[in-house]
Amino acid sequence: MSGIRIVTDTASDITAQQAQQMNVRLVPLSIAFGERKMPMESEEDFQNFFEQLYEERELPTTGQPSPEAYLNEYREAEKNQEDVLVLTLSGGLSGTIRSAQVAKELSGYDRVTILDTRQAILTQRMLVERAVLRRSQGRSVEEIAEELLEARDRLVVCGVLDTLTFLRKGGRIPAGFDVIGNVLALKPIIELKDGALIKLGVARGQRKGREYLFKEFEAAPVDPEWPVYTGYTYDRKLGEDFYREACERFGLSAARMYPVGGVIGTHVGKNCAALAFARKAPLGGQV
């Protein structure tokens, strides 16, 4: 039994089954349409969420995990004399990290290391998976955390959205602009940068939107020591087409595809295609 308990949250889009296979503890963020709570434990849950999203006039409410959820993990770890490594959703998107910190203060257990990944979805998953790998290699919590801290701001995840509607509902663009943009088939290009979602640009149509993502990849000195992942929301065929195109275009023999769930899906909607990778560290120092 490993002496390190790795804890992350559902913004990573790691399913309950995957977490069990990796021996990772999963703490849920809450998503609800009124009184109807939407779990994010399986790919079926992801699909159900997007179907409901398009039936509702308003965005769902989302909430960070409670400190109690983390406190339970810390107390169980203390009982088992385990170190704890917590990898949270970006603090620029959520107060999740604060819940983890409050729980540590309440627990009084000093063998808890909490790391703001500054990431979400595919790139948060990458950091969790790297932690799991290093744990299996016998690395200490301190060694794992040091590697992840160095790498986290080199990770890139960007996506092309199918509609402007959810950016408008979330207050990121002016009211009415989404109607014009959707008529003109404008596709926003977004990136998770400096811990927050930003708009890189707008493309005319899905095809040009994908080209925008590919140019971002081509322009980067990609670090081959980290994986390349593609992602999608709701439409698996769209996801498979994008994954296949990326693999063929760049000769990616080991890339993987994952669905994106409701935590970030709330803001991007259905039929989003995403690309995630790591940039090489600059020579002579960290980013």
Among 121, 152, 183, identify where a domain stops. Answer: 152
Tell whether 124 and 168 lie within a shared domain: no
pLDDT at 168 over 60: no
**Among 110, 106, 101, 141, residue whose Cα is nearest residue 5:** 141
Tell whether 167 and 147 lie within a shared domain: no
Among 106, 122, 152, identify where a domain stops. Answer: 152
Q: Is residue 284 part of a domain?
A: no
pLDDT for the residue numbered 201: 82
Of 74-78, 125-129, 167-171, 186-190, give the lowest mean pLDDT range. 167-171
Q: Is residue 285 part of a domain?
A: no
Tell whether 145 and 206 lie within a shared domain: no
Q: Is residue 128 part of a domain?
A: yes
Domain that holds residue 229: 154-278
Q: Is residue 286 part of a domain?
A: no
pLDDT for the residue numbered 184: 39
Tell whether 69 and 88 lie within a shared domain: yes
Tell whether 10 and 35 lie within a shared domain: yes
pLDDT in tens, 238-262: 999 999 999 999 999 999 999 999 9
pLDDT at 9 over 80: yes
pLDDT in tens, 51-63: 999 898 888 999 9
Higher-confidence residue: 163 or 157? 157
Tell whether 148 and 165 lie within a shared domain: no
Tell whether 267 and 215 lie within a shared domain: yes
Tell whether 106 and 237 lie within a shared domain: no
pLDDT for the residue numbered 167: 62
Indicate the average pLDDT of the chain. 90
pLDDT at 19 over 70: yes
pLDDT for the residue numbered 199: 77
Tell whether 69 and 185 lie within a shared domain: no
Model confidence, pTM:
0.92
pLDDT at 187 over 50: yes
The answer to whether the Cα torsion of 8, 13, 17, 21 is positive or negative is: negative
Domain of 184, CATH number, reads 3.30.1180.10
